[in-house]
Amino acid sequence: MSEVKILHCIRQGQIGGGESHVLDLVQNLNQNRFKSSVLSFTTGPMIDQLTNLGIPNYVIPTEFPFDFRTWGKVSKLIRNNQFNLIHIHGTRALSNCFLAATRNNIPIIYTVHGWSFHNYQNIFRRKISILAERYLCSFAKAIINVSEYNRQIGLAHIPALHSTVIQNGIDTGKFEPALNHKDIRAELKIGPDKILIGFISRMTYQKDPITLIKAFHLLQQKTKNKDRFRLLMVGEGDMKGEAIKMAKELNLTASIHFENFRNDVPDILSALNIYCLPSLWEGLPLGVLEAMASEKIVVASSVDGTREVIKHSVNGYLFSPGNSEQLSRLLEEGCQKNEANEKIKLNARKTIHDSFTIQKMVSKTEKVYQDVLDKNTNYFQN
């Protein structure tokens, strides 16, 4: 079979769920068939990792959607490299690539890691986002949703939507509990007797770090030994300053450790007792999959694709988004050493190994690539 050159496009070079997805995908596609390059619209750790891996990558700087200043540069990149497919991850990247791909007669595959519209937007912005998604989706030859819930949400607002659900998958080998992980507790001076709760995500409105800090404060207030718990918050974003300020106001600075983005997530997860993701909305969060594969208690908000992975009290715990009191109770329950929690941890790991592996995700994605090529033979350049 002929070699297929794919350009993966994503909005930023920082490390988040979509970026981790791209890194895993380009490393695990059939290298004899698919040759990947990556275009990002900002630089960052993802670009550094791609360079270290020897995967061709490009940066065309912008932080704006529909930035007409980038369109000619993207078009030139496509022409110079004679790509056969453009796989676009996220709405912003699509808004800056759709015209160049269309003008160069290259088919677009669009992975929706989470729609740009959601219930927390004001009515005007939500309507504009829905119209933008309808318009952009019309240029894609194939659309991938990362959860069935997200597909249904799309259908409710984009009646002509035809999409395939390919749930996110991870490289489970990186998260084996038996691996010899780096001692993160020693590095951060957190004793082995402390119960360590972890948040590893962008600190943005969507991820709702404030609810977790409130819940952690309630947890401390309910226990006699307030020094028993620690909270590790790893990530950056526009709400990090507010999170640090709240920690100070609640006298939690000695109990909450703030870290910037890190590339040693498996090591961090190995140090945790509980992983928490309090998002207000999600696609299908990779962090949840990684923590479950690491055999950790996961406490997450009951939203979107998360509910397709976690069954409450079976392989994790779910709480209502924004409910700090409920989250606090579940954190307290999750840190108990009992048979029920041990079974939850084992079930969590089994869930990921059975249904959410990188191999399953890549195999389904390769099929989408081939289907698009078969239907659009006039696009393919030998």
Chain segment 140-177, per-residue pLDDT in tens: 999 999 999 999 999 999 988 999 999 999 999 999 99
Q: What is the pLDDT of residue 361?
A: 97
**Do the Cβ atoms of 348 and 295 come closer than 8 Å?**
yes
**Do the Cβ atoms of 310 and 318 come closer than 8 Å?**
yes
**Tell me: the pLDDT tens digits for 110-139?**
999 999 999 899 999 999 999 999 999 999
Domain 4-169+357-379 and domain 173-355, same fold? Reply is yes
**Do the Cβ atoms of 115 and 136 come closer than 8 Å?**
no
Average pLDDT score, the chain: 94
On whether the 4-169+357-379 domain is CATH 1.20.140.10, my answer is no
* CATH architecture entry for 173-355: 3-Layer(aba) Sandwich (3.40)
Tokens representing 248 are 């100070």
Task: List the domain boundaries for the chain.
Answer: 4-169+357-379, 173-355
**Do the Cβ atoms of 294 and 175 come closer than 8 Å?**
yes
Q: In whole angstroms, what is the distance from residue 217 CA to residue 244 CA?
A: 13
pTM over 0.75: yes
